[in-house]
Chain A
Amino acid sequence: MRATAIRTVTTVVIGAGHAGLAMSRCLSERSIDHVVLERGEVAHTWRTERWDSLRLLTPNWQSRLPGFQYNGSDPEGYRTLAEVIEFIGSYAKAISAPVRTHTTVASARSTESGYLVRTDQGDWLCRAIVVASGACNIADVPTFANSVPPSIMQLTAQEYRNPEQLADGGVLVVGASSSGTQIAYEIHRSGRPVTLSVGEHIRAPRVYRGKDLEWWMDAAGLLDERYDEMDDIARARRVPSLQLAGTPDRSTLDINALTEIGVKLVGRLGGISEDGKAQFSGSLRNMCALSDLKMGRLLDRIDEWAQKNGFDDAAGPPHRLPPTRVEPAPPLGMDLTIGEVKAIIWATGYRPDYSWLEVPVLDRKGRLRHDGGIVSSPGMYLMGTQFMRRRKSALIDGAGDDARDLSAHLMSYLDTRPARKMA
């Protein structure tokens, strides 16, 4: 039953993932009263929307939240799903975050003095609002998925849990970024032959010159690059995730690692005809060439930084991975009606869900209009999306600096807009 009294609070934070919690900690430090509304339990999407064997692709030491960090015995390791849930849950407790669980936001709209947030547990009036509901709410699936024969099981990366969900037989995995490569590897190893459809992807070695790639990205300042320093921030925000995995043996899970165990490659899935024939692009070779070249440029930047900052002796010698191997004539089509493929996994990206946001802050493509997390509606802030404010904004390690910046802005916003009496 909906509570009849409307509660007031200075700030509502929507989402109790690591981003919402980091913001909560910064608000508490500034004595700004607030509430964190969470539709499930703390770390909800880690509990309900990820596959069983998932590990973070950032090493354990690289989860530095405001007032909290990893204190375990395996700093170079990669946290399992259960460990991530435990980590975020511990964080919420350690900072005594004012979380209201099992509270789903139905809408948020502007009022005279701020915002009205309606939930299934009652309404909140607030002067400022932080959208920390995540960037991966909805799995993107192309519309031609409707032409997939009904006998083929379809799962998004959000719905996939483990290979046992799938019948025996072939599997088509669509998408070769971090999720797609990990899922393809696991399913192929389970004895179900995988065909991987490859579009744009960002190849990277797990370990380079003896150090974790994420160590280099952090040390060389790449992760701290700001949104307003980029030539084309709109494009940088659309770039798919690094093709990295938290492999316990720290091996590089790239396309060559997949073809080595027998995964078959095809180009980007361009369409599925009405009679169930999948069409793959003839651009596979260039997609792989683009990715190899991009990786070369990243490693060049790292080598340059290492040389200028005296790391050349401590680190191993510069080296390059062998080019991605592509056969001369990859298949351009696949008949999905003949029964070879029993399942399709869509690892084709995600988009946020802003359907509850009844404030006109979306552009014509449904993206939030913001300036480094400062949304185009007064007193509204965004957290945790790809390159929102810094290259690391979508990483656990990125929430802290963003929350510090935005809570400072929020505080000065409140100071310049004294609260009106709310009738």
Chain B
Amino acid sequence: MAEASSTANNGVNVAALIAAREALTEAPAAAQFKWRAACEWKDGTHSHSTVEGFYGLGQEQHHKRTFTFDADHPEIFASEDKGATPVEYVLVGLASCLTAGIAAVAQHRNIQLRSVTATLEGDMDVQGILGIDDDVRNGFGGIKVTYKIDADAKREDIEALVAQSQKRSAVYDIVTNPTNVTVVVD
């Protein structure tokens, strides 16, 4: 795709993404990815997870290094607070995915971003997870994401970046739509 000299630089290699999109249109098998994580229980509600390898473009792939995550429950849950809670990891996942999307869409639309920050809040009635009330779900009752964006663009164009990011976000889809989860014991 021929693009007039782009003045915005948000650090996203849009040309590479567009080339990848064209290549994968012709080779859909190469578009089949598998993302992975491994988790080891430590003690109490504390567990330690690692992310290292994934599958895509027809072969096994590796991150530059192994990423590690500690998860735990807070002290008011009578735990040790050795890491963020799993549900906070979900908020981080959602925020990261949407934010990356905003940068990519802004690059594609030649909008220079100066700063982008998101604050997230997920409501949870813990009567669900504590089994006190069957009518209360375990997960979030709702999630609110608030973006503060300073960019070279009109308000509608910034809103459009955020809307388009949601439209193409993996984690937004995972959180807002049903996903099959199969858990087996080896």
Contact = CB atoms under 8 A, between A and B. Distances in A.
Nearest to B28: A364
Contacts of A297: 156, 160
B154 to A, nearest CB: 10
A293 B166 contact: no
Given A289-B163, A290-B164, A290-B167, A283 B156 contact: no
A281 B142 CA distance: 12
B163 A293 contact: yes
Interface of A: 231, 267-268, 270-271, 279, 281-283, 286, 289-290, 293, 296-297, 328-329, 364
Given A286-B163, A286-B172, 6 more contacts: A231-B1, A268-B177, A271-B178, A281-B176, A283-B166, A297-B160
Interface string B126-166: 00000000000000011000000000000010011001101
Contacts, number: 38
Contacts of B177: 268, 270-271, 279, 281-283
Nearest to A231: B1
Interface in B81-115: none
Interface of B: 1, 28, 141-142, 156, 159-160, 163-164, 166-167, 172, 175-178
A282 B163 contact: no
B163 A267 contact: no
A270 B141 CA distance: 18
Contacts of B178: 270-271, 279
Contacts of A364: 28
Contacts of A282: 175-177
Nearest to A232: B1
The 3 A-B residue pairs whose C-beta atoms are closest, nearest first, are A282-B176, A270-B177, A286-B166
6 contacts: A279-B178, A290-B163, A297-B156, A297-B160, A328-B142, A329-B141
Contacts of A328: 142
A197 to B, nearest CB: 13
Contact of A293 (B1, B159, B175): B159
B159 A267 contact: no
B156 A296 contact: yes
A328 B123 CA distance: 13
Nearest to B175: A282
Contacts of B159: 289, 293
Nearest to A200: B167
A271 B178 CA distance: 7
B176 A293 contact: no
Contacts of B156: 293, 296-297
A362 to B, nearest CB: 16
B18 to A, nearest CB: 10
B155 to A, nearest CB: 11
A282 B94 CA distance: 14
B12 to A, nearest CB: 18
Contacts of B28: 364
